[in-house]
Amino acid sequence: MSTSGIFSRRGLFKTASLIAFSALMLAAPYGCSKGEEKAKEQPTVQAPAQDPAKEHFDKGVQYSLKGQLDDAIKEYEAVLTYNPKSAEAHNNLGFAYFDKGDLGKAIEHQQKAVEANPNLANGYYGLALALESKGDKKAAIENWKKFASLSQPHSKWWMKAQEHIQALEGKGQTAKKK
């Protein structure tokens, strides 16, 4: 390859680069400024604000996992100020009250959970636990059966429900609380 070939290729590359750069510089004042003007004319789209109910729910879950039940209860109650019929908030609130030993409030919130969502298996689980702990065998059996009907047959939780049903009906060992 001759040196003139190298220079001509370099020269061609420099010329192409210069043309592209010039085209960019000529178009930039028009393209950018028009784009900026259009952007100014159009309303800005902001990211949607975080759902405050979800924020409270998530905090409640974290407090529940840490065993900070009073804080969890406050957070779940805050969720209910935004959505009084939140089945999940009532359900988790019911479990928090159950863990605190307040069976009356546990039952109240689990009932609200299953009223709001009759297919919420976890609501029947919590309701059955609270009713069983209160000593209401008939209602506990009914809710264990409802939970089992909504659960995956032969799963771990379905089996636990069967154990509770058998124990409450006097056909098996004593049922465990959880």
H-type alpha helices, 135-178: 137-150, 156-168
Interior/surface letters 40-64, b for 16+ CB within 10 angstroms, e for the rest: eeeeeeeeeeeeebeebbebbeebb
**What single DSSP character describes residue 71?**
H
Residue 59: C-alpha distances to residues 42, 77, 79 (Å)? 37, 12, 10
Residue 178 has pLDDT above 50, yes or no: no
Residue 176: C-alpha distances to residues 133, 164, 166, 167 (Å)? 10, 7, 11, 9
Domains in the chain, number = 1
Within a domain: residue 85? yes
Confidence at residue 48, expressed as pLDDT on a 0 to 100 scale? 52
Q: Which residue has the tokens 């039952």?
A: 107
Q: Quick one: residue 102, left, alpha or beta (phi over 0 = left, psi -120 to 50 = alpha)?
A: beta
Within a domain: residue 132? yes
| Averaged pLDDT, 126-140 | 97
Within a domain: residue 25? no
Confidence at residue 49, expressed as pLDDT on a 0 to 100 scale? 56
Confidence at residue 171, expressed as pLDDT on a 0 to 100 scale? 78
- Domain containing residue 138: 52-168
Contacts 24+ apart (CB under 8 A), 81-88: 82/52, 82/53, 82/56, 83/53, 85/112, 85/116, 86/53, 86/57, 86/116, 87/112, 87/113, 87/114, 87/116, 87/117, 87/120, 87/123, 88/57, 88/113, 88/120
130: domain CATH number is 1.25.40.10
Within a domain: residue 46? no
Within a domain: residue 30? no
Within a domain: residue 26? no
Within a domain: residue 56? yes
Within a domain: residue 2? no
Q: Could you report the per-residue pLDDT of 74-109, keeping only the tens digit for each? A: 999 999 999 999 999 999 999 999 999 999 999 999
